[in-house]
């Protein structure tokens, strides 16, 4: 191995060194990611959420840049394209990989959801009375309503003069507070 390294000219040693070190860094990042040691990525730019890896100058992006730069430089020099063209191609491929990582991380982070139910999404939905809803907006009634794909039991009030029995179909007309609904019966 040492004989091979000594036979390389300085330019190839530099490009191989950058490529090998960045490949090693990438492997470490992947191993840490699988074992939970690298949940977030450090961002050195102003372009993203802090610690989200969303910025273009994150550790992942910089590692991708140097990986593309180093190995493209090696390939270009092995093809006798010259040092100037090797650096230019390395910069182009490294930049493209850095932007690709940025776009992939941004797309993956958009797939995340907070998991928090927004009760305002239930307004206009049809629900079923679960516990009798008293008349004249007295507390104590409950309905079952589908909010964001989850069947949820929530407090309900009714403005009408007669109570709504369990099993009655109602429409949510507004929210009161965080999780209480005003309902009206569906007309048959």
- Residue 11 has a pLDDT of 93
Domain extent for 37: 2-110
- Residue 111 has a pLDDT of 76
- Residue 113 has a pLDDT of 64
Lowest mean pLDDT among 44-53, 109-118, 155-164: 44-53
State whether 99 and 147 are in the same domain.
Answer: no
DSSP codes, 77-111: HHTT--HHHHHHHHHHHHHHHHHHHHHHHHHHHHT
- Residue 43 has a pLDDT of 56
- Rounded to 10 degrees, the C-alpha dihedral 158/162/166/171 comes to -40
- Residue 41 has a pLDDT of 56
- Residue 33 has a pLDDT of 78
Give the predicted TM-score (pTM) of the model.
Answer: 0.56
At 23-37, the pLDDT tens digits run 999 999 888 877 876
Q: How confident is the model at residue 21 (pLDDT cuts 50, 70, 90)?
A: very high
- Residue 38 has a pLDDT of 57
Q: Which two tokens stand for residue 99?
A: 């932007």
User: Of 89, 110, 131, at which residue does a domain stop?
Assistant: 110
State whether 6 and 94 are in the same domain.
Answer: yes
State whether 126 and 145 are in the same domain.
Answer: yes
In DSSP terms, 132 is beta-bridged to: none
Q: How confident is the model at residue 45 (pLDDT cuts 50, 70, 90)?
A: low
Q: How confident is the model at residue 108 (pLDDT cuts 50, 70, 90)?
A: confident
Using alpha carbons, select from 159, 186, 175 the residue that is nearest to residue 123: 175
Q: What is the mean pLDDT of residues 147-159?
A: 91
State whether 170 and 86 are in the same domain.
Answer: no
Residue 51 above 50 pLDDT? no
- Residue 42 has a pLDDT of 57
User: Of 110, 134, 155, at which residue does a domain stop?
Assistant: 110
Q: Give how many domains the chain has, as a whole number.
A: 2
Round to whole Å and give the CA distance between 152 and 97: 45
């Amino acid at each position: 191995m040492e004989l091979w390294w000594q036979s390389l000219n300085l330019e190839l040693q530099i490009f191989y060194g950058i490529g090998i070190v960045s490949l090693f860094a990438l492997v470490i990042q992947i191993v840490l990611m699988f074992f939970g040691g690298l949940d977030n990525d450090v961002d050195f730019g102003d372009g993203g959420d802090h610690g989200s890896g969303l910025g273009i100058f994150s550790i992942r992006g910089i590692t991708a840049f140097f990986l593309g730069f180093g190995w493209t430089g090696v390939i270009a020099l092995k093809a006798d394209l010259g040092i100037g063209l090797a650096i230019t191609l390395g910069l182009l491929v490294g930049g493209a990989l850095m932007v690709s990582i940025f776009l992939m991380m941004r797309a993956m982070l958009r797939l995340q959801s907070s998991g928090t139910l927004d009760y305002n999404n239930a307004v206009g939905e049809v629900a079923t009375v679960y516990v009798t809803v008293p008349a004249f907006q007295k507390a104590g009634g409950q309905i079952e309503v589908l909010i964001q794909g989850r069947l949820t039991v929530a407090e309900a009030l009714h403005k009408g003069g007669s109570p709504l029995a369990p099993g009655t179909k109602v429409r949510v007309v507004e929210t009161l507070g965080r999780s209480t609904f005003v309902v009206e019966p569906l007309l048959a």
